[in-house]
Amino acid sequence: DAKTTQPNSMESNEEEPVHLPCNHSTISGTDYIHWYRQLPSQGPEYVIHGLTSNVNNRMASLAIAEDRKSSTLILHRATLRDAAVYYCILRDPINTDKLIFGTGTRLQVFP
Amino acid sequence: NAGVTQTPKFRVLKTGQSMTLLCAQDMNHEYMYWYRQDPGMGLRLIHYSVGEGTTAKGEVPDGYNVSRLKKQNFLLGLESAAPSQTSVYFCASSLRPGTSRRAYEQYFGPGTRLTVT
């Protein structure tokens, strides 16, 4: 399974944009890039996913590099509720369809 | 909809005891999964099921057994608990890939915190 690399932690101030990077240099052509987040003492929740094009939804935006070897999750205006561990995951729906979690990025948001 | 529920929320076991964790989902999902999460780590897949009556091994299956007798339930069993199985256990479910726009999303339960002494 292809691996992802994320910074262990990041900090942001409330209402500022946050850019969470992820490197996945061994990504294959059939891997989708998924982001989940885990709030304290809760199970993970889906944030966004994409294959090649940038994606937007009500929670965040996902910017994917042209060579697909990296991606960035963008929170446009961080809130205190966004403090969580963010996981960047490669998912191959054809061959394995399993989520392989790394250790993620712990995001701290300060008021 | 209750989504994904897990029973119990907390449990303390002595080494060698057995127990069963129950996961239930009311979203008519075909796929169900059991993960464990150790302190400071990401989730690791224990076992999963792609439909009623079928199960498969994940990354860390040793010491665990599972059963999927009904579509809505997925049971995780520990026959002889060990301290190394102290962890938080998460269940998740999803639609079969390709069946809808939402098939890519896994829905997680709140977790079961298990301590083995």
C-alpha angle B71-B74-B76 in degrees, rounded to nearest 5: 165
| Residue of B4, B43, B111 lying closest to A101 (CB–CB) | B43
Q: State the Cα torsion B53-B62-A104-B8 to the nearest 10°.
A: 60
Residue B55 confidence (pLDDT): 95
CB < 8 Å to B106, chain A: 36, 44, 46, 99
8 Å CB contact of A103 and B92: no
Structure-model confidence comparison of residues A3 and A106, the more confident one: A106
8 Å CB contact of A43 and B41: no
| Residue of A43, A99, A102 lying closest to B110 (CB–CB) | A43
Residue A97 confidence (pLDDT): 65
Residue B87 confidence (pLDDT): 97
Cα gap A85→A39, rounded to integer Å: 7
Positions of chain B with pLDDT under 70: 100-102
The H or E element that residue B112 is part of is: strand B112-116
> In a 3-state reduction of DSSP, which class is residue B84?
helix
8 Å CB contact of A43 and B48: no
Percent of chain A's residues with pLDDT above 70: 94
Cα gap A27→A3, rounded to integer Å: 8
Contact (Cβ atoms closer than 8 angstroms) between residue A14 and residue A109:
yes
8 Å CB contact of A42 and B110: yes
Q: Are strands B107-108 and A18-23 parallel, antiparallel or unpaired?
A: unpaired
Cα gap B5→B26, rounded to integer Å: 9
Cα gap B15→B5, rounded to integer Å: 26
What average pLDDT does the segment A79-104 reach?
84
Largest CA distance in chain A: 44
Contact (Cβ atoms closer than 8 angstroms) between residue A90 and residue A25:
no
8 Å CB contact of B40 and A103: yes
> In a 3-state reduction of DSSP, which class is residue B23?
strand
Q: What is the pLDDT of residues A33-84, one digit of tens each?
A: 999 999 998 999 999 999 999 999 998 999 999 999 999 999 999 999 999 9
Nearest CA distance, B108 vs chain A (angstrom): 5
Determine which of A4, A32, A36, A99 to mutate to test the interface with B (most B C-beta atoms within 10 Å).
A99
